[in-house]
Amino acid sequence: MNNFNFQDKVVIVTGAAGSLGSTVAEQFHKAGANLALVDLNFDKLQNESLKNASNVHLFPADLTNEDSVNKLVESITKVFGQIDVLANVVGGFKMGPMVHETSVADWDFMLNMNAKSVFLMSRAVIPHMLKIGKGKVVSVAARAAVEGKAKMAPYCVSKAAVITLTQSLAAEHKHNNINVNCILPGTIDTPQNRADMPNADFSNWVPTVDLANEILHLCSEQAKGVTGAAVPVYGRS
């Protein structure tokens, strides 16, 4: 058990089939939340350990597509009646060539996955939060958002966009009882990262549960005075 209480709250977790998203879902479930778990990979989502829980519903969706997002949010509100929390966890990383060798397709892929998905989900969900007079939005940016790296420009730019979008949304809704924040993970300890970097010291990486707990904290009443923040969660990485 964690120390958070999300009883009677409706929480959307995007990217819920991934390593971080599944951990975020588990932590919210332990805290008593009603969960809408969203992922493009529905087959993987159906393997979720929470899939049979009575207060958990699974939703396949392409979060880079406007129609898909609008239909998703409509379906979630039909099932649960309201939306209290949006955890924008969906995203990805792809190492690339130098900027002058980067294709438009690779640029669009990163911007769509990491930034457009947050924009579309936030745009679709916030009107429902305005109706109930409250809400929490937390997105996942990255440490790379605050310092450009060689051969990572599309990724760095896409995550920087998440920070700026977070700040703009927070400014727009600071008087509407809607808190909007993001976290900046360092290197996350996931099976994929271990496979990609087998010689690294995994003990210095950030466990997914630490990131999940910071997301829950920002979505909790303990953080009601925090909005527009980009919170570093680097561990020792």
Whether 234 sits among the annotated catalytic residues: the reply is no
| Nearest alpha carbon to residue 17 among 51, 52, 55, 67 | 51
Q: Give the residues across from 136 on adjacent strands.
A: 85, 179
Give start and end residues of each alpha helix (H) in the chain. Answer: 19-30, 42-45, 66-80, 104-111, 117-132, 153-173, 191-196, 208-219
* Dist CA 71 CA 58 (whole Å): 14
Q: What are phi and psi of 118, to 5 degrees?
A: -70, -45
Question: How far lies 231's CA from each of 77, 81, 151, in Å?
Answer: 29, 31, 25
Task: Choose among 73, 45, 72, 87: nearest CA to 219.
Answer: 87
Strand 178-185's sheet: what is its strand order? 56-60, 34-39, 10-14, 85-88, 135-140, 178-185, 230-233
Cα 69 to Cα 132: distance, rounded to the nearest angstrom: 20
Catalytic residue among 129, 155, 161, 229: 155
What span, in angstroms and rounded, lies between the C-alpha atoms of 68 and 66? 5
Task: Please give the positions annotated as active site.
Answer: 155
